[in-house]
Amino acid sequence: MMSKSKLFILVILLFIAACSPPSPCEMGASPMSCDNEVTTKKPIGSWTITETSSSTSVSESGSTDTFTVVLATRVPDGNVIVDISSSDTGEVTVSPSSLTFSSDNYTTAQTVTVTGINDNLDDGNITSTTTLTFNDSQSADESYEALADKTISVTTTDDDTLGITVTETNGSTAPMESKTDTLDITLSSEPVADVTISITSSDIGEITVTPNSMTFSSGNFSTAQTVTLTAVQDALVDNNQNSIITFSVTSSVDASYASLADKTFTSTATDSLLVEEVNEIALGDTHSCYVDNDVNKTLYCWGDDNCDSAGASCTGPITIDGTSNDNTTGVPVLNGLQSVQSLAISQNLSCALFDNNSAYCWGWNESGSLGSTAGQLLDGSNTYAAYSLGVGAKHGCALLDNTTPACWGYGSYGQLGEGGTSWATNRVAYAGVDNVTQLTGGTYFSCALINDGTVKCWGKNTNGQIGDGTTTQRNSPTTVSGLSNVTKVAAGANHVCALISDGTIKCWGRGDGGKLGNGADSDSSSPVTVSGITTATDVDVSDLVACALLNDNSVTCWGGNGNGQLGNGTTGGSSNTPVAVSNLTSVSKVATGFTHACAIRSDNTVWCWGKNAAGQLGDNSTTDRNTPVQVIGF
């Protein structure tokens, strides 16, 4: 029998057992279950991230935004390390890159700063991810280590704009005719591939561009490349003219730039004939004429005042009142005309264009060469407004305001351009060409510069002076072969030269005596390049000699030299390549006659050289000169 004391102890044990049932581990549960049970007895850590502005955004300008991080729920067992990283450090950086929480600061919010990073790409607004991760290897509290990562979305606002930037290097872009100005070109954002841009002018008869294309890469997109704009010298009093310069992306793998709209820029060609300080000079066979740089634009002429043509009436190429001067008129005489803007002179025929766009001719009057009535260009009762003049031996052409030429005079070789060979005595013939910017006349042919930079000629073609690869007479305007980017055309008696926008010169037609300047002495019915000239800004041509003005304001000539008209200190023979005129600098204008030449210098003095039998050099003598001498009176 159990004693009372033992029975009491047994009851106590059973009571304890009933109040404390065995744990799963005591009943044979798996070790993992036992571990979980142990863990759950300690509260799991938690944390909170708060975006300062409810969302996080920055810009490429370097602006910043912030968010805060704080632990919650319970005190960590030791230091808890949180690593912070950006998914795209090219857009956003974070600072600091880690946070440390301890039992002392776990409830204190710590601030993380995100900063926008600038790039040069027009890549739009970019969203990147900032990730916060507990560092398992450095943290001392497993319950925090077990928590999942947290992320913040950060938007970077792009400040780059796709485009082509055009900067005027001088603050404005309005070059005077024959002068240049420049533009600096960059891309406004970095391309992902090379970008090639073409550059064009809407009117190469007014403004030409060099180069015609340029290429930008990711390495040089912000480095300025220079475009040179050249205002074309024409013979028109056509006021200042605007041209649209267009920049077009012609090649790029970069899809954004490949689809970029054209960039346009307006440049103005300043009309040199409207500027008071610009002078004009033109030469005939044995006479010379010059427009003085005075407020009245007074015309002076000197040399032979006889027409030297049997059967032709003549008012005299120097004076227009019928009073002839003898062959020793070696100093300038007042012609009687004022407000003259430009001149066109052939052997014995002279024409002047006035500032009111009227024109007047004097000299040799055969087959209506002076115009329809008393030197005026009339058609019935209508007086034409002329913008450019070109005259031949016995005919002339004037450019009208509708860009077509009206011609008059002798037409037996088709030089009037109306499709036949009849004369236009007391009437005006209409050459079948338009979009003309400048005219010039040879002995029995005419040429026109077209606004697309090409040239058309018509008339006699015995020496290939029409330039179409044949010697067939052309009664209507015919395109010269292989010419483009022409800025001026000048005709001699039976050959022609064209100034090209790149500073070269091409000539065609009669070639004996080195007239074409290409190192040969033979005719060419298509253009050939004058040797050694790459910087020409002007050209003028007569029967035996041609001269070019270079961009250093010097002059070079080629052709016959029987009277020293090459100006290089020698007399006799010829040169089929250009030679420099001696002792002549600071030249602004050059002109050629049959066997002499003249130039205007920047100080408005006039200098001439060559044959002087009729006093055409203006130095009060009749002595030939093989180097320039100054005309007396200016």
CA distance 311 to 528: 39
Read off the pLDDT band of 238 (50, 70, 90): confident
The last residue of one of the domains, among 256, 273, 290, is 273
Least confident of 270-284, 391-405, 539-553: 270-284
Which of 123, 157, 191 terminates a domain? The answer is 157
Structure-model confidence comparison of residues 451 and 170, the more confident one: 451
pLDDT-based confidence at 17, cuts 50/70/90? very low
Say if 34 falls within a structural domain: no
Burial degree of 488 (CB within 10 A; 0-12, 13-18, 19+): buried
Q: Which of 377, 380, 378 is nearest to 362 (CA)?
A: 377
Using pLDDT thresholds of 50, 70 and 90, give the confidence band for residue 610.
very high
Q: Are 91 and 128 in contact (CB under 8 A)?
A: yes
Residues 110 and 201 in one domain: no
Which 3-state string (H, E, C) describes 548-563? EEECCCCEEEEEECCC
Distance between CA atoms of residues 71 and 81, nearest Å: 11
pLDDT grade, residue 446 (50/70/90)? Answer: very high
Position 71 in a domain: yes
Spatial strand order of the sheet with 349-354 comes to 313-314, 359-365, 349-354, 340-345
Number of neighbouring beta carbons within 10 Å of residue 318:
28
Q: Could you tell me if 178 and 300 lie in one domain?
A: no
Where a domain ends, among 227, 251, 273?
273
Query: 401 and 284, same structural domain?
Result: yes
CA distance 59 to 23: 59
Assess whether 453 and 499 both reside in one domain: yes
Whichever domain contains 490, its CATH number is 2.130.10.30
Whole-number pLDDT of residue 330 = 58
CA 341 to chain centre: 28
**What pLDDT is attached to residue 518?**
97
Q: Is 382 inside a domain boundary?
A: yes
User: Is 90 exceeded by the pLDDT of residue 593?
Assistant: yes
- Pairing status of strand 378-379 against strand 382-383: antiparallel
Q: What is the pLDDT of residue 142?
A: 76
**Is residue 521 predicted with pLDDT exceeding 70?**
yes
pLDDT above 90: residue 459: yes
How is residue 63 written in tokens? Answer: 């602006």
Q: How many CA atoms lie within 13 A of 146 on its CB side?
A: 10
Average pLDDT over residues 241-247: 93
pLDDT at 91: 86
288 and 226 share one domain: no
The predicted model gives 171-191 an average pLDDT of 87
Write the CB contacts of 55 (distance below 8 Å, at least 6 apart in sequence): 153, 155
Q: Is the pLDDT of residue 597 over 90?
A: yes
Q: How large is the average pLDDT for residues 90-114?
A: 91
Q: What is the mean pLDDT of the chain?
A: 84
Same domain, 210 and 125: no
Q: How far is CA 585 from CA 274, 582, 589, 605, 606, in A?
A: 25, 9, 11, 12, 12
Residue with tokens 């947290």: 150
Alpha-carbon span 517 to 158, nearest angstrom: 59
Distance CA 618, CA 326 (A): 14
Number of domains into which the chain is organized: 3
**289 or 328: which leads in pLDDT:** 289
Do the domain assignments include residue 571? yes
H/E stretch holding 363 reads strand 359-365
Which of the two residues, 520 and 307, has the higher pLDDT score?
A: 520
Residue predicted with more confidence, 20 or 494: 494
Position 599 scores a pLDDT of 95
Under 8 Å between Cβ of 120 and 189: yes
Query: Tell me: the pLDDT tens digits for 462-515?
Result: 999 999 999 999 999 999 999 999 999 999 999 999 999 999 999 999 999 999
pLDDT band at 32 (very low <50, low <70, confident <90, very high): very low
Please answer whether residues 367 and 394 qualify as being in contact, where contact means their C-beta atoms are separated by less than 8 angstroms: yes
Confidence of residue 310 (pLDDT cuts 50, 70, 90): very low
Q: What is the pLDDT of residues 337-395, one digit of tens each?
A: 888 888 899 887 888 888 888 888 888 878 877 775 545 555 545 566 788 889 998 89
The verdict on 384 and 436 lying in the same domain is yes
Position 40 in a domain: no
Q: In the β-sheet with 536-541, what is the strand arrangement from edge to edge?
A: 536-541, 545-550, 555-560, 574-580
Q: Does 24 score more than 60 pLDDT? A: no
Beta pairing partners, 550: 536
**One domain, residues 132 and 195:** no
How many contiguous H segments (helices) and E segments (strands) does the chain have? 4, 47
| Predicted pLDDT of residue 211 | 95
Q: What is the tens place of the pLDDT at every residue in 124-176?
A: 788 989 999 988 888 877 777 778 888 999 998 877 788 899 999 877 788 88
Is a pLDDT exceeding 90 seen at residue 426? no
Regarding whether 445 and 301 lie in a shared domain, the answer is yes
Per-residue pLDDT reduced to its tens digit, 40-53 = 445 677 888 999 88
Q: Looking at the structure, do residues 148 and 53 belong to the same domain, yes or no?
A: yes
Q: What is the full DSSP assignment across 131-191?
A: EEEE-TTT-S-HHHHTSPPEEEEEEEEP-----EEEEETTSS--PBTT-EEEEEEEESSB-
Average pLDDT over residues 527-543: 96
In this structure, are 419 and 510 located in the same domain? yes
- Residue 19: pLDDT above 80? no
Residue 283 covered by a domain: yes
Q: Is residue 346 part of a domain?
A: yes
Say which amino acid occupies 608. C
* pTM (2 d.p.): 0.61
Contacts for 308 with CB less than 8 Å, ≥ 6 apart: 285, 286, 348
My answer on whether 308 and 407 are in the same domain is: yes
Residue 401 lies in a domain: yes
> Cα(508)–Cα(530) distance, rounded to whole angstroms?
10
Closest among 575, 562, 573 to 610, alpha carbons compared: 562
Instruction: Provide the CATH number for the domain around residue 191.
Output: 2.60.40.10
Domain, as residue range, for 298? 276-630
Which amino acid type is present at position 234?
A: D
